[in-house]
């Protein structure tokens, strides 16, 4: 019973492994194992044999049990093929060829790398950082080459492979990362899309990036491009904040501090304000007519955004663009130009239930991953880390 329990703790699935002896040593547990004779297939001629050629003792690292490292002494058998006279070691699930750690320990280490840095994972399993790094780098993670009906594309600050920004492609319907590209260049995106089966792709969600738009048009022809709602609406709030800062610079120190603290209050929708907050906003707006104009313009656009649907969005967008053009506020005039250039893509966001919400969440996860790892300079390692984290997360 005790021997079977030890076998299970070590994560050994081979049925021909038996426990010979267990010794408590200072700082670690020493377990001696041996294998029972069974027929083996010759790797050269595929004939089966049970003839023993010799033995070899191998020291293997096991998992940490009760805060102590486990050292395994395995007595392996070398077999002789009676058909071709070649010799070979028996195949075991518990340890891979040329390795000095158990398969279960390798699996545990890889699982930890998905949720922690390589260094932390190494400490948790009792391995060196370089060993865990070699195990991780040997992993092969394949990506899908048949793209789905709706995809989203975005950039994130990876600082890997000599490039500051990398590009991420996701399946917005099934919420799955499809691939990570080494940079955000048009040629890179076109080459990736050209290497995939894009026959099903009819919808692409993106922020207001002209590079993304150009690359997608060149690679996919004329798919439905949806401008992400968050990205085009934040242009409006930035325009309001630009006016707030301009007015703030003309105020006394005490008024500047109060104005700076009022940023979120001015951004908030009027119907969400309490009676006290409405009074505060009114007091702030009295400081300058330009700020008052910008605030009312923001509210008008916010009302269009929140109350429109696919039937009314076009007329409301046209009115908002006209109001911004005649406002004489430089920030809103720029937003009007942006809305005009992306008019069709903005209207598509009211017609289809897709946005960049999932991909922005992934970007936040990547930031945490980078911070825990103190940065990852190798692009291939960063890409593998992101995809491996997703794979492990979906498995549990």
H/E element holding 78?
Answer: strand 68-80
Number of helices followed by number of strands (H, E) in the chain: 16, 12
Is the domain of 330 the same as that of 370?
Answer: no
Kindly tell me if the per-residue pLDDT of 1 is higher than 80.
no
Longest pairwise C-alpha distance within the chain:
99
Q: What is the mean pLDDT of residues 368-388?
A: 93
pLDDT at 3: 65
Q: What is the mean pLDDT of residues 341-358?
A: 95
Kindly tell me if the per-residue pLDDT of 289 is higher than 80.
yes
Give domain status of residue 141, yes or no: no
Residue 153's pLDDT band (cuts 50, 70, 90): very high
Is the domain of 258 the same as that of 164?
Answer: no
Token readout for 193 is: 């899309």
Give domain status of residue 303, yes or no: yes
Vertex 187 angle, CA 375 and 145, to 5°:
80
Q: What is the mean pLDDT of residues 293-300?
A: 95
Is the domain of 196 the same as that of 262?
Answer: no
Give Cα 38 to chain centroid, integer Å.
46
Assign residue 221 the CATH number of its domain: 3.40.350
Give domain status of residue 134, yes or no: no
Mean pLDDT estimate for the chain: 92
Give domain status of residue 245, yes or no: yes
Is the domain of 210 the same as that of 180?
Answer: yes
Angle separating helix axes 118-125 and 129-138, nearest 10 degrees: 110
pLDDT at 63: 87
Is the domain of 359 the same as that of 224?
Answer: yes
Kindly report the number of other CB atoms within 10 A of residue 93's CB atom: 14
Give domain status of residue 107, yes or no: no
* pLDDT, tens digit (0-9, with 9 covering 90-100), for 226-245: 999 999 999 999 999 999 99
Is the domain of 247 the same as that of 211?
Answer: no
Residue 321, CA distances (Å) to 106, 292, 308, 327, 351 in order: 59, 18, 15, 10, 20
In degrees rounded to 5, what are phi and psi of residue 56?
A: -150, 135
Give domain status of residue 242, yes or no: yes
Give domain status of residue 129, yes or no: no
Is the domain of 372 the same as that of 344?
Answer: no
Token readout for 96 is: 């891979």
Of 234, 180, 207, 205, which is closest to residue 366 (Cα–Cα)? Answer: 180
Is the domain of 221 the same as that of 249?
Answer: no
Residue span of the structural domain in which 371 resides: 150-228+355-376
* pLDDT, tens digit (0-9, with 9 covering 90-100), for 205-224: 999 999 999 999 999 988 99
Is the domain of 180 the same as that of 284?
Answer: no
Give domain status of residue 122, yes or no: no
Is the domain of 233 the same as that of 255?
Answer: yes
Is the domain of 235 the same as that of 333?
Answer: yes
Which domain-ending residue is among 99, 129, 164?
99
Is the domain of 215 the same as that of 303?
Answer: no
Domain count, the chain: 3
CB under 8 Å, gap of 24 or more: what pairs does 118-123 form? 118/373, 120/372
Rg of the chain's alpha carbons, rounded to an integer? Answer: 31
* pLDDT, tens digit (0-9, with 9 covering 90-100), for 39-80: 999 999 999 999 999 998 989 998 888 778 889 999 988 999
């Amino acid at each position: 019973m005790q021997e079977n329990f030890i076998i299970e703790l070590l994560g050994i699935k081979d049925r021909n492994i038996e426990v010979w002896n267990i010794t408590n040593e200072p700082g670690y547990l020493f377990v001696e194992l041996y294998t029972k004779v069974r027929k083996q297939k010759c790797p050269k001629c595929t004939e089966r044999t049970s003839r023993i050629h010799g033995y070899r003792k191998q020291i293997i690292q096991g998992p940490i049990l009760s805060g102590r490292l486990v050292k395994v002494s395995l007595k392996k058998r070398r077999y002789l093929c009676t058909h071709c006279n070649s010799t070979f070691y028996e195949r075991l699930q518990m340890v891979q060829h040329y390795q000095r750690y158990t398969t279960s320990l390798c699996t545990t280490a890889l699982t930890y790398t998905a949720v922690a840095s390589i260094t932390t994972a190494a400490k948790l399993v009792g391995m060196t950082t370089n060993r865990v790094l070699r195990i991780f780098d040997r992993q092969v993670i394949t990506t899908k080459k048949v793209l789905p009906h709706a995809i989203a594309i975005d950039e994130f600050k990876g600082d890997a492979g000599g490039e500051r920004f990398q590009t991420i492609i996701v399946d917005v319907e099934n919420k799955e990362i499809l691939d990570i590209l080494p940079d955000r260049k048009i040629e890179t995106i076109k080459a990736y899309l050209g290497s995939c089966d894009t026959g099903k792709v009819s919808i692409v969600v993106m922020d207001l990036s002209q590079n993304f738009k150009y690359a997608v048009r060149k690679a996919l022809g004329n798919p439905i491009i949806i401008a992400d709602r968050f990205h085009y609406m934040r242009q409006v709030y930035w325009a309001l904040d630009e006016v707030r800062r301009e007015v703030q610079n003309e105020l006394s120190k005490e008024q500047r501090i109060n104005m700076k603290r009022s940023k979120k209050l001015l951004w908030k929708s009027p119907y969400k304000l309490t009676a006290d907050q409405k009074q505060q906003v009114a007091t702030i707006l009295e400081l300058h007519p330009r700020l008052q104009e910008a605030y009312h313009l923001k509210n008008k656009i916010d009302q269009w955004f929140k109350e429109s649907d696919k039937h009314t969005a076009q007329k409301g967008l046209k009115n908002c663009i006209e109001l911004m053009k005649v406002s004489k506020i430089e920030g809103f005039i720029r937003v009007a130009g942006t809305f005009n250039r992306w008019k069709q893509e903005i209207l598509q966001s009211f017609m289809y239930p897709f946005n960049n919400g999932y991909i922005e969440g992934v970007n936040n996860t990547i930031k945490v991953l980078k911070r825990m790892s103190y940065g990852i300079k190798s692009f291939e390692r960063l890409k593998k880390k992101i995809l491996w984290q997703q794979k492990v997360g979906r498995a549990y």
